[in-house]
Structure 1
Amino acid sequence: MLAPRTAISMTAALLLALLFYWGTDSDNPQDFSADSLGLNRQMDYFINQVHLLQWQADGQLLRTSDSQRIEHYPEQQASQLSAPISHFYRQDGNIVRVTAESGMVPDDNKRIELAGDVVVLDNPGPTQGTRLNTEQLTIFPALKQADSNSRVVITHPDSTTEGVGMHADLDNGIIELHSRVKGTINHAQ
Protein backbone atom coordinates (compact mmCIF):
# COMPACT_ATOMS: atom_id res chain seq x y z
CA MET A 1 0.00 0.00 0.00
CA LEU A 2 1.30 3.44 -0.93
CA ALA A 3 1.89 6.11 1.68
CA PRO A 4 -0.77 8.84 1.53
CA ARG A 5 1.76 11.46 0.45
CA THR A 6 3.04 9.21 -2.36
CA ALA A 7 -0.49 8.43 -3.54
CA ILE A 8 -1.38 12.14 -3.61
CA SER A 9 1.81 12.96 -5.51
CA MET A 10 1.15 10.23 -8.08
CA THR A 11 -2.46 11.38 -8.51
CA ALA A 12 -1.37 14.99 -8.93
CA ALA A 13 1.27 13.97 -11.51
CA LEU A 14 -1.30 11.97 -13.50
CA LEU A 15 -3.82 14.82 -13.41
CA LEU A 16 -1.18 17.34 -14.52
CA ALA A 17 -0.15 15.07 -17.40
CA LEU A 18 -3.81 14.69 -18.42
CA LEU A 19 -4.43 18.44 -18.21
CA PHE A 20 -1.26 19.13 -20.23
CA TYR A 21 -2.42 16.69 -22.91
CA TRP A 22 -5.85 18.34 -23.07
CA GLY A 23 -4.27 21.79 -23.24
CA THR A 24 -1.99 20.89 -26.15
CA ASP A 25 -4.64 19.07 -28.20
CA SER A 26 -6.89 22.02 -29.07
CA ASP A 27 -8.32 20.45 -32.26
CA ASN A 28 -9.86 17.48 -30.43
CA PRO A 29 -12.83 18.07 -28.14
CA GLN A 30 -12.41 17.15 -24.51
CA ASP A 31 -14.53 14.42 -23.00
CA PHE A 32 -15.49 14.86 -19.36
CA SER A 33 -17.53 11.68 -19.13
CA ALA A 34 -16.96 9.53 -16.07
CA ASP A 35 -15.55 6.75 -18.26
CA SER A 36 -12.95 9.00 -19.90
CA LEU A 37 -11.85 10.38 -16.52
CA GLY A 38 -11.66 6.93 -14.92
CA LEU A 39 -14.11 7.99 -12.23
CA ASN A 40 -16.72 5.22 -12.34
CA ARG A 41 -15.65 3.32 -9.24
CA GLN A 42 -15.22 6.29 -6.87
CA MET A 43 -18.59 8.06 -7.16
CA ASP A 44 -20.09 8.79 -3.74
CA TYR A 45 -23.43 10.27 -4.88
CA PHE A 46 -25.43 11.36 -7.90
CA ILE A 47 -28.43 13.60 -8.49
CA ASN A 48 -30.81 13.36 -11.45
CA GLN A 49 -32.72 16.29 -13.00
CA VAL A 50 -30.84 19.04 -11.16
CA HIS A 51 -31.91 22.70 -10.99
CA LEU A 52 -29.63 25.04 -9.01
CA LEU A 53 -29.86 28.76 -8.28
CA GLN A 54 -26.85 30.86 -7.26
CA TRP A 55 -27.39 34.29 -5.67
CA GLN A 56 -25.07 37.26 -5.26
CA ALA A 57 -24.41 38.76 -1.83
CA ASP A 58 -26.85 41.60 -2.63
CA GLY A 59 -29.67 39.11 -3.35
CA GLN A 60 -29.53 39.38 -7.15
CA LEU A 61 -29.73 36.16 -9.13
CA LEU A 62 -26.25 35.35 -10.48
CA ARG A 63 -26.80 32.05 -12.27
CA THR A 64 -29.16 29.14 -12.76
CA SER A 65 -27.84 25.71 -13.69
CA ASP A 66 -29.63 22.61 -14.90
CA SER A 67 -28.18 19.19 -15.60
CA GLN A 68 -29.68 15.82 -16.47
CA ARG A 69 -27.32 14.24 -13.94
CA ILE A 70 -24.54 15.26 -11.56
CA GLU A 71 -22.11 12.64 -10.28
CA HIS A 72 -19.69 13.51 -7.47
CA TYR A 73 -16.22 11.96 -7.12
CA PRO A 74 -14.64 12.74 -3.72
CA GLU A 75 -11.12 11.55 -4.59
CA GLN A 76 -10.99 13.99 -7.51
CA GLN A 77 -12.90 16.63 -5.54
CA ALA A 78 -15.08 17.21 -8.60
CA SER A 79 -18.53 16.61 -10.06
CA GLN A 80 -19.28 15.45 -13.59
CA LEU A 81 -22.27 17.05 -15.36
CA SER A 82 -24.49 15.51 -18.06
CA ALA A 83 -26.05 17.94 -20.57
CA PRO A 84 -25.48 21.09 -18.46
CA ILE A 85 -27.44 24.28 -19.17
CA SER A 86 -26.56 27.52 -17.36
CA HIS A 87 -28.02 31.01 -17.46
CA PHE A 88 -25.81 33.90 -16.33
CA TYR A 89 -27.59 37.15 -15.46
CA ARG A 90 -25.68 40.26 -16.54
CA GLN A 91 -25.71 43.65 -14.83
CA ASP A 92 -27.49 45.20 -17.82
CA GLY A 93 -30.39 42.76 -17.39
CA ASN A 94 -29.48 40.56 -20.36
CA ILE A 95 -28.96 36.82 -20.06
CA VAL A 96 -26.15 34.57 -21.31
CA ARG A 97 -27.25 30.95 -21.91
CA VAL A 98 -24.57 28.22 -22.05
CA THR A 99 -25.17 24.57 -23.04
CA ALA A 100 -22.85 21.59 -23.59
CA GLU A 101 -22.85 17.80 -23.82
CA SER A 102 -20.82 17.36 -20.62
CA GLY A 103 -18.98 19.26 -17.95
CA MET A 104 -16.84 19.07 -14.85
CA VAL A 105 -16.93 21.30 -11.75
CA PRO A 106 -14.29 21.12 -9.00
CA ASP A 107 -15.64 21.14 -5.44
CA ASP A 108 -14.40 24.72 -4.96
CA ASN A 109 -16.81 25.84 -7.76
CA LYS A 110 -14.23 28.30 -9.12
CA ARG A 111 -14.57 27.06 -12.68
CA ILE A 112 -16.83 25.00 -14.95
CA GLU A 113 -15.14 22.91 -17.67
CA LEU A 114 -17.53 22.26 -20.57
CA ALA A 115 -16.99 19.96 -23.54
CA GLY A 116 -18.84 18.79 -26.62
CA ASP A 117 -21.01 21.09 -28.74
CA VAL A 118 -20.68 24.07 -26.39
CA VAL A 119 -23.11 26.85 -27.35
CA VAL A 120 -23.18 30.32 -25.77
CA LEU A 121 -26.16 32.54 -26.58
CA ASP A 122 -25.89 36.17 -25.56
CA ASN A 123 -29.37 37.51 -24.81
CA PRO A 124 -31.36 34.57 -26.20
CA GLY A 125 -34.89 35.51 -27.00
CA PRO A 126 -37.26 36.47 -29.81
CA THR A 127 -34.57 38.48 -31.63
CA GLN A 128 -31.43 36.71 -32.75
CA GLY A 129 -28.51 37.70 -30.51
CA THR A 130 -24.89 36.61 -30.58
CA ARG A 131 -24.13 32.88 -30.77
CA LEU A 132 -20.75 31.33 -29.94
CA ASN A 133 -19.95 27.69 -30.80
CA THR A 134 -16.89 25.73 -29.63
CA GLU A 135 -15.97 22.24 -28.46
CA GLN A 136 -14.37 23.25 -25.14
CA LEU A 137 -15.01 26.15 -22.76
CA THR A 138 -13.87 26.98 -19.23
CA ILE A 139 -16.16 29.35 -17.34
CA PHE A 140 -15.15 31.25 -14.20
CA PRO A 141 -18.59 32.07 -12.70
CA ALA A 142 -17.45 34.47 -9.96
CA LEU A 143 -15.48 36.50 -12.52
CA LYS A 144 -18.16 36.09 -15.23
CA GLN A 145 -15.40 35.20 -17.68
CA ALA A 146 -14.72 32.28 -20.02
CA ASP A 147 -11.72 30.89 -21.94
CA SER A 148 -11.21 28.36 -24.71
CA ASN A 149 -8.19 27.02 -26.59
CA SER A 150 -10.41 25.43 -29.25
CA ARG A 151 -11.85 26.73 -32.53
CA VAL A 152 -14.56 29.32 -31.87
CA VAL A 153 -17.31 30.50 -34.26
CA ILE A 154 -19.22 33.67 -33.35
CA THR A 155 -22.41 34.37 -35.30
CA HIS A 156 -24.35 37.67 -35.29
CA PRO A 157 -27.43 38.38 -37.41
CA ASP A 158 -25.26 39.91 -40.17
CA SER A 159 -21.75 38.51 -39.60
CA THR A 160 -19.68 35.46 -38.72
CA THR A 161 -16.26 35.53 -37.06
CA GLU A 162 -14.08 32.55 -36.24
CA GLY A 163 -10.72 31.97 -34.63
CA VAL A 164 -8.76 29.63 -32.39
CA GLY A 165 -8.68 30.37 -28.68
CA MET A 166 -10.58 33.12 -26.92
CA HIS A 167 -11.26 35.02 -23.73
CA ALA A 168 -14.76 36.34 -23.01
CA ASP A 169 -16.09 38.81 -20.48
CA LEU A 170 -19.62 37.45 -20.05
CA ASP A 171 -20.84 40.47 -18.09
CA ASN A 172 -19.82 43.02 -20.74
CA GLY A 173 -20.22 40.80 -23.83
CA ILE A 174 -16.60 41.33 -24.95
CA ILE A 175 -14.88 38.44 -26.75
CA GLU A 176 -11.18 38.44 -27.66
CA LEU A 177 -10.08 35.84 -30.22
CA HIS A 178 -6.45 34.71 -29.96
CA SER A 179 -5.37 33.47 -33.41
CA ARG A 180 -6.40 32.48 -36.97
CA VAL A 181 -9.16 35.09 -36.92
CA LYS A 182 -11.33 35.60 -39.99
CA GLY A 183 -14.76 37.03 -40.53
CA THR A 184 -17.58 37.65 -42.98
CA ILE A 185 -20.04 40.54 -42.97
CA ASN A 186 -23.34 40.33 -44.87
CA HIS A 187 -24.99 43.71 -45.45
CA ALA A 188 -27.79 42.30 -47.61
CA GLN A 189 -31.21 42.85 -46.11
Structure 2
Amino acid sequence: MTWRGVLTLMLLAAAIITGWSVWQQRSEQVTTVTASTRPSYLLHDFEVIALNKQGKESLTLRAPQLAQNPDDRTMSIETPLFFLPDKEGQRWEVRSKTAWVAADNSEVRMRGNVVANSPPGAQKPSTLKTEQLNVFPDKNEATSEVLVTVTSPGSTMQGVGMQADLADKRIRLLSKVQMTNDPKRR
Protein backbone atom coordinates (compact mmCIF):
# COMPACT_ATOMS: atom_id res chain seq x y z
CA MET A 1 0.00 0.00 0.00
CA THR A 2 1.36 3.40 -0.91
CA TRP A 3 1.54 6.38 1.35
CA ARG A 4 -1.43 7.94 -0.53
CA GLY A 5 -3.62 4.94 0.24
CA VAL A 6 -2.66 5.06 3.92
CA LEU A 7 -3.35 8.81 4.05
CA THR A 8 -6.74 8.32 2.32
CA LEU A 9 -7.74 5.59 4.82
CA MET A 10 -6.67 7.80 7.76
CA LEU A 11 -8.68 10.80 6.43
CA LEU A 12 -11.70 8.57 5.80
CA ALA A 13 -11.47 7.17 9.35
CA ALA A 14 -11.14 10.72 10.78
CA ALA A 15 -14.18 11.88 8.79
CA ILE A 16 -16.25 8.93 10.02
CA ILE A 17 -15.22 9.48 13.67
CA THR A 18 -15.90 13.23 13.43
CA GLY A 19 -19.33 12.66 11.85
CA TRP A 20 -20.22 10.08 14.49
CA SER A 21 -19.05 12.43 17.28
CA VAL A 22 -21.11 15.34 15.94
CA TRP A 23 -24.14 13.07 15.57
CA GLN A 24 -23.85 11.92 19.21
CA GLN A 25 -23.34 15.42 20.61
CA ARG A 26 -26.12 17.17 18.77
CA SER A 27 -28.52 18.94 21.12
CA GLU A 28 -32.04 17.73 21.49
CA GLN A 29 -34.30 19.75 19.29
CA VAL A 30 -36.03 22.34 21.44
CA THR A 31 -39.74 22.57 20.97
CA THR A 32 -40.99 26.08 21.53
CA VAL A 33 -44.50 26.78 22.64
CA THR A 34 -45.81 30.21 21.87
CA ALA A 35 -48.45 31.95 23.89
CA SER A 36 -51.90 31.73 22.47
CA THR A 37 -52.88 34.81 20.52
CA ARG A 38 -56.57 34.00 20.71
CA PRO A 39 -58.41 35.25 23.79
CA SER A 40 -60.23 32.73 25.96
CA TYR A 41 -63.30 34.93 25.53
CA LEU A 42 -64.30 38.19 23.92
CA LEU A 43 -67.12 40.55 24.90
CA HIS A 44 -68.59 43.20 22.60
CA ASP A 45 -70.70 46.19 23.67
CA PHE A 46 -71.22 45.07 27.26
CA GLU A 47 -71.75 46.23 30.84
CA VAL A 48 -70.32 44.39 33.84
CA ILE A 49 -70.93 45.09 37.53
CA ALA A 50 -68.16 43.72 39.77
CA LEU A 51 -68.86 43.14 43.46
CA ASN A 52 -66.38 43.33 46.32
CA LYS A 53 -65.97 40.70 49.07
CA GLN A 54 -68.89 42.21 51.00
CA GLY A 55 -71.18 41.87 47.97
CA LYS A 56 -71.31 45.61 47.26
CA GLU A 57 -70.55 47.20 43.91
CA SER A 58 -66.81 47.73 43.53
CA LEU A 59 -67.01 48.96 39.93
CA THR A 60 -69.19 49.00 36.86
CA LEU A 61 -67.63 48.79 33.40
CA ARG A 62 -69.00 49.58 29.96
CA ALA A 63 -66.89 49.13 26.83
CA PRO A 64 -67.09 48.15 23.17
CA GLN A 65 -64.62 45.24 23.58
CA LEU A 66 -62.97 43.14 26.28
CA ALA A 67 -60.60 40.21 25.66
CA GLN A 68 -59.33 37.79 28.28
CA ASN A 69 -55.79 36.42 27.92
CA PRO A 70 -56.00 32.62 28.34
CA ASP A 71 -52.43 32.35 29.68
CA ASP A 72 -52.63 34.66 32.71
CA ARG A 73 -56.40 35.41 32.83
CA THR A 74 -55.84 39.19 32.61
CA MET A 75 -58.20 41.32 30.53
CA SER A 76 -57.56 44.00 27.91
CA ILE A 77 -60.28 46.56 27.29
CA GLU A 78 -60.78 49.09 24.50
CA THR A 79 -62.13 52.59 25.36
CA PRO A 80 -63.54 51.63 28.76
CA LEU A 81 -65.93 53.67 30.87
CA PHE A 82 -65.65 52.78 34.56
CA PHE A 83 -68.05 53.84 37.30
CA LEU A 84 -66.36 53.73 40.74
CA PRO A 85 -68.64 54.24 43.78
CA ASP A 86 -67.71 56.49 46.70
CA LYS A 87 -68.90 56.21 50.34
CA GLU A 88 -72.32 57.71 49.56
CA GLY A 89 -72.88 55.38 46.61
CA GLN A 90 -72.26 58.15 44.11
CA ARG A 91 -70.01 57.15 41.21
CA TRP A 92 -66.82 58.54 39.76
CA GLU A 93 -66.82 58.33 35.94
CA VAL A 94 -63.43 57.31 34.53
CA ARG A 95 -62.61 56.95 30.81
CA SER A 96 -59.43 56.02 28.92
CA LYS A 97 -58.24 54.68 25.57
CA THR A 98 -57.28 51.27 26.97
CA ALA A 99 -57.32 49.37 30.23
CA TRP A 100 -55.74 46.23 31.63
CA VAL A 101 -57.39 44.32 34.50
CA ALA A 102 -55.50 41.92 36.78
CA ALA A 103 -56.71 38.31 36.91
CA ASP A 104 -58.04 38.77 40.46
CA ASN A 105 -59.62 42.17 39.59
CA SER A 106 -57.52 43.86 42.28
CA GLU A 107 -55.95 46.37 39.87
CA VAL A 108 -57.02 48.27 36.78
CA ARG A 109 -54.36 50.04 34.70
CA MET A 110 -55.86 52.74 32.50
CA ARG A 111 -53.72 54.21 29.74
CA GLY A 112 -54.12 57.01 27.22
CA ASN A 113 -56.18 60.17 27.71
CA VAL A 114 -57.53 59.21 31.14
CA VAL A 115 -60.32 61.49 32.38
CA ALA A 116 -62.01 61.03 35.77
CA ASN A 117 -65.02 63.10 36.79
CA SER A 118 -66.22 63.28 40.39
CA PRO A 119 -69.76 62.08 41.11
CA PRO A 120 -72.59 64.31 39.84
CA GLY A 121 -73.85 66.66 42.51
CA ALA A 122 -70.56 66.62 44.41
CA GLN A 123 -70.09 69.59 46.73
CA LYS A 124 -66.88 70.50 44.89
CA PRO A 125 -66.96 68.83 41.45
CA SER A 126 -63.57 68.00 40.00
CA THR A 127 -62.04 66.55 36.87
CA LEU A 128 -58.77 64.64 36.84
CA LYS A 129 -56.74 64.23 33.63
CA THR A 130 -53.61 62.13 33.08
CA GLU A 131 -52.08 59.61 30.68
CA GLN A 132 -51.80 56.77 33.23
CA LEU A 133 -54.01 55.83 36.15
CA ASN A 134 -53.87 52.69 38.30
CA VAL A 135 -57.09 51.97 40.18
CA PHE A 136 -57.43 49.55 43.10
CA PRO A 137 -61.21 48.97 43.38
CA ASP A 138 -61.20 46.97 46.63
CA LYS A 139 -59.24 49.73 48.39
CA ASN A 140 -61.09 52.59 46.61
CA GLU A 141 -57.69 54.06 45.71
CA ALA A 142 -56.01 55.35 42.56
CA THR A 143 -52.40 56.24 41.78
CA SER A 144 -50.42 57.76 38.94
CA GLU A 145 -46.71 58.28 38.36
CA VAL A 146 -47.02 60.83 35.56
CA LEU A 147 -48.37 64.38 35.17
CA VAL A 148 -51.85 64.80 36.64
CA THR A 149 -54.13 67.83 36.25
CA VAL A 150 -57.03 68.33 38.67
CA THR A 151 -59.56 71.00 37.79
CA SER A 152 -62.39 72.19 39.99
CA PRO A 153 -64.41 75.44 39.97
CA GLY A 154 -61.96 78.27 40.66
CA SER A 155 -58.74 76.23 40.72
CA THR A 156 -56.41 74.04 38.71
CA MET A 157 -53.67 71.88 40.23
CA GLN A 158 -50.92 70.04 38.37
CA GLY A 159 -48.29 67.68 39.68
CA VAL A 160 -46.25 64.61 38.87
CA GLY A 161 -47.43 61.54 40.75
CA MET A 162 -50.72 61.19 42.58
CA GLN A 163 -52.45 59.20 45.29
CA ALA A 164 -56.22 59.39 45.56
CA ASP A 165 -58.74 58.06 48.06
CA LEU A 166 -61.85 57.77 45.90
CA ALA A 167 -64.18 57.01 48.80
CA ASP A 168 -63.22 60.20 50.67
CA LYS A 169 -62.67 62.20 47.46
CA ARG A 170 -59.12 63.17 48.47
CA ILE A 171 -56.43 63.66 45.87
CA ARG A 172 -52.78 64.22 46.80
CA LEU A 173 -50.25 65.32 44.18
CA LEU A 174 -46.72 64.15 45.00
CA SER A 175 -44.14 66.38 43.26
CA LYS A 176 -43.67 69.45 41.06
CA VAL A 177 -47.04 70.72 42.23
CA GLN A 178 -48.43 73.95 40.77
CA MET A 179 -51.75 75.56 41.57
CA THR A 180 -53.71 78.26 39.85
CA ASN A 181 -56.53 79.84 41.82
CA ASP A 182 -59.20 81.97 40.13
CA PRO A 183 -61.98 82.70 42.64
CA LYS A 184 -64.05 84.43 39.93
CA ARG A 185 -64.55 81.12 38.05
CA ARG A 186 -66.68 79.58 40.78
Instruction: Classify the TM-score, shorter chain.
Output: 0.7 to 0.9
Look up the SS of the partner of 1:188 in the other structure.
helix
Structure 1 residues 40 and 153: alpha-carbon distance in aligned structure 2, compared to 1, 3 A threshold = farther
Could you tell me which residue of structure 2 aligns to residue 99 of structure 1?
A: 95
What does 1:52-131 correspond to in 2, within 5 Å?
52-56=48-52, 59-124=55-120, 129-131=125-127
| 1:47 and 2:43 aligned | yes
TM superposition outliers: structure 1 runs of 4+ over 6 Å:
none
How far residue 59 of structure 1 moved from its aligned partner, in angstroms, is: 4.9
TM-score w.r.t. the length of structure 1 is 0.74
* Separation (CA, whole Å) in 2 of partners of 1:174 and 1:128: 11
Larger radius of gyration: 2
Higher relative contact order (CA 8 A, sep 6+): 1
TM-score w.r.t. the length of structure 2 is 0.75
How far residue 97 of structure 1 moved from its aligned partner, in angstroms, is: 1.0
* 8 A contact 2:124–2:153 mirrored in 1: yes
What does 1:165-184 correspond to in 2, within 5 Å?
165-184=161-180
Any stretches of 5+ residues in structure 1 without a counterpart? 8-38
* Separation (CA, whole Å) in 1 of partners of 2:52 and 2:41: 27
How many residue pairs match? The answer is 156
Q: Which amino acid aligns with 2:78?
A: S
What is the aligned-residue identity percentage?
26
* Cα RMSD, aligned residues only: 2.4
Any stretches of 5+ residues in structure 2 without a counterpart? 1-29
* 8 A contact 2:46–2:63 mirrored in 1: yes
